[in-house]
Amino acid sequence: IVREAAEQSRRAKLPKLRPAMLFEAACEHAVRRSQTFVLWEGRDARSLRMLLRERMASVPEQAAFSLSLLSGPEGGFTPDELATATMHRIALASLGPRIMRAETAPIAAAAAVLFEHGDLD
C-alpha cells in the first residue's frame, strides 16, 4: 500500500512503516534516527503544527529531514508509556481538540506533516 500510494502521488522517497513493537523499543529506535513526536490528546501536548514549524525553522529550506510519529492504540497511551516518551525526550504532539480513532490519527498527522512541509499547497 505504501509503495502504491507513493507511486500514485509521485513521491521519490517512500515513507517507512515499521512493524509493531514494544513502546520502549519504538522510542529507542525512533530517537536514534529522527526527530520524534508522540501523538497524544492530553492537555500537556503541544500543537503538532507548532512543533513542525519549529522543526522546519531549524533546518535549511527544502532540506530533507527525518521525522517519526508514534501513534497509540484505541484508548490512548498509558501513563507509563508517556513517562517513557518523556524520558527519551520525545515531544507530546496534539492534533487539536478532537479525539480521533487509532486508525485515522496517523493519517491526519501524516497529512499535517505534508502540509507544513509544503507538499500539499
Q: Which residues of the chain have pLDDT under 70?
A: 1-2, 6, 11-16, 61-64, 119-121
Which pLDDT belongs to residue 1? 64
Which pLDDT belongs to residue 62? 63
Q: How many residues would you count in the chain?
A: 121
Residue with cell 524520558: 87
31: nearest Cα among 63, 67, 61, 74: 67
Q: What is the DSSP letter of 65?
A: -
Give 51's contacts (C-beta < 8 A, 6+ positions apart).
37, 91, 93
Q: Which domains does the chain have, with CATH numbers?
A: 19-116 (3.40.1280.10)
CA 3 to each of CA 6, 11, 29, 65, 67: distance values in angstroms, whole numbers, following the listed order:
5, 9, 22, 20, 18
State pTM to two decimals: 0.80
